């Protein structure tokens, strides 16, 4: 079985979209894949309860309890790998996980670590993507699923979705329009990666 571990920091709507797709499309039966765990760096993340209600194991690795980014990432790696046979999951999906990861963490999951970012990368890496797109007068915005590298919001692009920027858009209205597309492309990209992996390792 190919195990997927999803990392969240908040509501986890993209996590929930992946979980729904896994059930609806019968990933376990068709691809030998399952969402094994949802892990948050914030104890109060609403997505944890949503995962529990879906019958998925959850864990918290509170970043405020660690003196360094490296110490936190080491603890996070241990928590992730505890949920995979052989000590490493097939995929680790960042779904609104608001932490910059160390190069050591990224190297540990090389080829297995993916993220969704709310812009059409390479445009607007980092934060405040929607307001930046509006301020620049962009006619289109969107979302990108990409492999994670040590450089923030870089890595091979796996999927993108485009939405129009409307004349009366605010950052919030644009974000909501982009989010509906995120919920479509992220599960599709994850499924495509799982189909490309013949083994659970």
Count of structural domains within the chain: 1
Residue ranges for the chain with pLDDT beneath 70: 197-201
Range of the domain at 32: 2-115+146-155+183-196
- Scan for tokens 């928590």, then name that residue: 79
Q: What is the pLDDT of residue 201?
A: 38
31 is a domain residue:
yes
Decide if 44 is inside a domain. yes
Looking up residue 54, the CATH number of its domain turns out to be: 3.40.50.170
Among all chains, which residue has been given the structure tokens 């992946």?
18
Catalytic-residue membership of 130? no
Residue tagged active-site, from 3, 83, 117, 130 = 117
pLDDT of residue 200: 43
Q: Is 126 contained in some domain? A: no
Does the residue 52 lie in any domain? yes
Please tell me the predicted confidence (pLDDT) of residue 84.
86
Domain-embedded: residue 135:
no
Q: Is residue 60 situated within a structural domain?
A: yes
pTM of the model: 0.95
Residue 26 domain flag: yes
Instruction: List Cβ neighbours of 18 (8 Å cut-off, separation of 6 or more).
Output: 4, 6, 35, 93, 95, 186, 187, 190
In a domain, 124, yes or no: no
- pLDDT for 85: 79
pLDDT given at position 198: 54
- In the prediction, which pLDDT does 88 show? 83
pLDDT of residue 116: 98
């Amino acid at each position: 079985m190919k195990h997927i571990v999803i990392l969240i920091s908040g509501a986890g709507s993209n996590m929930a979209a992946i979980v729904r797709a896994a059930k609806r499309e019968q990933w376990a039966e068709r691809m030998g894949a399952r969402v094994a765990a949802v892990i948050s760096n914030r104890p109060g993340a609403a997505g944890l309860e949503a995962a529990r209600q879906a019958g998925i194991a959850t864990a918290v690795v509170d970043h405020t309890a660690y003196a360094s980014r490296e110490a936190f990432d080491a603890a996070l790696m241990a928590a992730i790998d505890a949920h995979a046979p052989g000590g490493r999951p097939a995929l680790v999906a960042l779904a609104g996980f608001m932490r910059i990861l160390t190069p050591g963490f990224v190297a540990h999951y090389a080829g297995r670590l993916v993220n969704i970012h709310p812009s059409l990368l390479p445009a607007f890496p980092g934060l405040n993507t929607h307001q930046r797109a509006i301020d620049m007068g962009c006619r289109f915005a969107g979302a990108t699923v990409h492999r994670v590298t040590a450089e923030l919001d870089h890595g091979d692009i796996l999927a993108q979705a485009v939405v129009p920027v409307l004349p009366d858009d605010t950052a919030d209205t644009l974000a909501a329009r982009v989010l509906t597309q995120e919920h479509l492309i992220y599960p599709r990209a994850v499924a495509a990666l799982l189909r490309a992996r013949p083994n659970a390792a």
